[in-house]
Structure 1
Amino acid sequence: MTADLGARRASICPEPPFNALFNIRMPFIYPTSQLSLERKTPVVSTANVGQLAVDLIIASLSLQRVAILESGYCVPVVGAREDGQKGITTALELYGHPGVDFVVIQQRSPVLKVGAYSLVCLDARSALRLQSRKEEFIKALLNFIKDSKFGAVLFLSGVDLSNRTDSQMTTPTYQIRPENSPTLAGTALQRLSSLPIPKYTSPVSQEAQPAESSSSTPFIPGGGITRRILSSLPSEWSVPTASILQFVLEGDNRADAGLLASVVVKILGKEVPQWRQPGSWRDGLFGTPHDQTLFG
């Protein structure tokens, strides 16, 4: 009977992953060079147009990869690095330069919905508890921002253009300042207060959004996890925070990215003499051209 019960438990309760079994937390950052992050301002890409804008900023200001961030939270992705550099590109990386007072976090794939689990087995009963990778990622990201002693943080995201209201037709770019954020005065983001970038209001009724309904952050259709990040700032949050949103449609968003990138450097008080597109855009954005002989 004992052996049978043990066999039943083994079949009902499969062995959980090693990390989940021992509740191991991997480091969030793996530095690849010596660069102090204290008082710098991270620019974080969280959706399509934000990722492309960060690509432009990295290429145009010759920023270098200074750290690889824990990519286990994201859909696995790997690729070649820009300009023939050695090594590989991963899903989550940090770029900066000693002479530049901000860094950028480039996220190249979406955050997973669920991941590691905890398994509870009591006699013949078992409970499989899937843990939200999005919540884990947000917690790790916010802890990283706080522990790095950044001076301020700016999140970039897109908004689905098909949801734009008539009153939002005058400009594609908007801003959000979370209620829990300290003032931007005296930070690298203080210019945001004087620029003609209107406050974002959701074009979609929040009554139809039960999740996070108590949040004061407006709903962002097509904005990925941006709203969830801004809604997760604790009441004691000490890092001045803002978000820049841009209305876009899915498709070739290179022009949209150029506009968003120019807004970001304007906020940060930087001059970019000439914007440079990364080499990966030539071959990676829409793939290499088809051989025309295939079509006769």
Structure 2
Amino acid sequence: MIKLTQDIDLENYTLILPSVAVGNVGQLSVDLLISNLNLPKVGQIFSTSFIPVVGANAYHEHSNELITAIDIYAGIKERIVVIQIRSPYVGELLEFFNEITQFVTERKIAKVIILASSHDYAKKEVQPQHLKLRYVASPSLQSQTDKLFDDLNWIPHKPKDVTGEERLQIPGGGFARSIFNFLSNTDIPCAVLFKFCSEGDNIEDAIALVCYLNQWMCVLGTNSSNLKYPPSWKYLFGKPPSQDMY
């Protein structure tokens, strides 16, 4: 169930959401967007497919507002609506996908962007090796943005031939492929932006993915190279190593 706490006209907005994937890069990227754009929370999604979570505000240390497993944020100026997912999925996602599709259709949202990641070892089959960012666009979106992506020198992620049939594969990408196919099949313009990475301290991967998104959406202006971290990231990956080690 999707519940908005504010009545906002989302027509022609862009919906951005993460896939729970390797290194949590999509979720970290969404954290950066919400924190740097100071996006207010405007709703929640209640889904039995995800583990229930509740906690302190992730972006304002002294706020009494709670966060849940799936929260919705919006930027009026940027014309974006952002969904943050904070827990892994443990059930079937069909109902969740249907709710997202219905939400996009009823609210007349222009397009959906899924932020994700993929196992670094899968990059060995992708050329050129030194570039770790890829995109996949639905036919309806590709027709609108093909020239822009070419001008940005973006590299599309190609489907892989599996027993004579081409199939989109994003190893370690969580539900990115599934929701992309679901939305694409309902003719909703959508794209997956993802980065090849390994588990560990994935802050730099998240920054790279946000900058990649910003090349297209320009929501951060020129500030994408100097991003602030949300307070919830304090000691996210432990304290820095002691200088006594060196």
TM-score, normalised on structure 1?
A: 0.71
- Give the corresponding residue for 2:177: 227
Q: Which runs of 4+ in 1 moved over 4 A?
A: none
Q: Which moved more, 1:57-66 or 1:31-40?
A: 31-40
* Equivalent residue for 2:152, pick from 195, 199, 203: 195
- Give the corresponding residue for 1:286: 237
Task: Give the secondary-structure state (helix, strand or coil) at the position aligned to 2:157.
Answer: coil
Kindly report the root-mean-square deviation, in angstroms, between the aligned alpha carbons of the 2 structures: 2.6
* Equivalent residue for 1:105, pick from 64, 68, 83: 83
- Give the corresponding residue for 2:64: 86
Task: Give the secondary-structure state (helix, strand or coil) at the position aligned to 2:27.
Answer: helix
Residue pair 1:184, 1:240 contacting (<8 A) in 2 also: no
Residue pair 1:90, 1:108 contacting (<8 A) in 2 also: yes
Task: Give the secondary-structure state (helix, strand or coil) at the position aligned to 2:156.
Answer: coil
Are positions 1:41 and 2:30 aligned together?
no
What amino acid is aligned across from residue 102 of structure 2 in structure 1? N
Deviations 1:31-71 (A, max 9, x none): 12332211100111113101001101111111111111224
Residue pair 1:154, 1:244 contacting (<8 A) in 2 also: yes
- Give the corresponding residue for 1:74: 50
Instruction: Supply the distance in 2 between the matched residues of 1:157 and 1:265 (Cα, whole angstroms).
Output: 15
The number of residues matched between the two structures is 232
Task: Give the secondary-structure state (helix, strand or coil) at the position aligned to 2:93.
Answer: helix
What amino acid is aligned across from residue 151 of structure 2 in structure 1? S
Residue pair 2:134, 2:155 contacting (<8 A) in 1 also: yes
Q: Given the superposition, is the C-alpha separation of residues 242 and 258 from structure 1 closer, same or farther in structure 2, using an over 3 Å criterion?
A: same
Shift, 1:98, TM fit = 2.0
Larger Rg: 1
Residue pair 1:42, 1:104 contacting (<8 A) in 2 also: yes
- Give the corresponding residue for 1:259: 208
What amino acid is aligned across from residue 237 of structure 2 in structure 1? F
What amino acid is aligned across from residue 286 of structure 1 in structure 2? F
Are positions 1:276 and 2:228 aligned together?
yes
Q: Given the superposition, is the C-alpha separation of residues 63 and 164 from structure 1 closer, same or farther in structure 2, using an over 3 Å criterion?
A: same
- Give the corresponding residue for 1:52: 28
* Equivalent residue for 1:248, pick from 188, 197, 201: 197
**Greater relative contact order (Cα < 8 A, sep 6+):** 2
> Which stretches in structure 2 are left out of the alignment for 5+ residues?
241-246
> Which stretches in structure 1 are left out of the alignment for 5+ residues?
1-27, 114-132, 208-212, 290-296
* Equivalent residue for 2:134, pick from 166, 169, 174: 174
Instruction: Supply the distance in 1 between the matched residues of 2:204 and 2:141 (Cα, whole angstroms).
Output: 33
Residue pair 2:26, 2:115 contacting (<8 A) in 1 also: yes
Task: Give the secondary-structure state (helix, strand or coil) at the position aligned to 1:50.
Answer: helix
Within 5 A, what are the aligned runs for 1:92-171? 92-113=70-91, 133-165=92-124, 167-171=127-131
Identity of aligned residues (%): 29
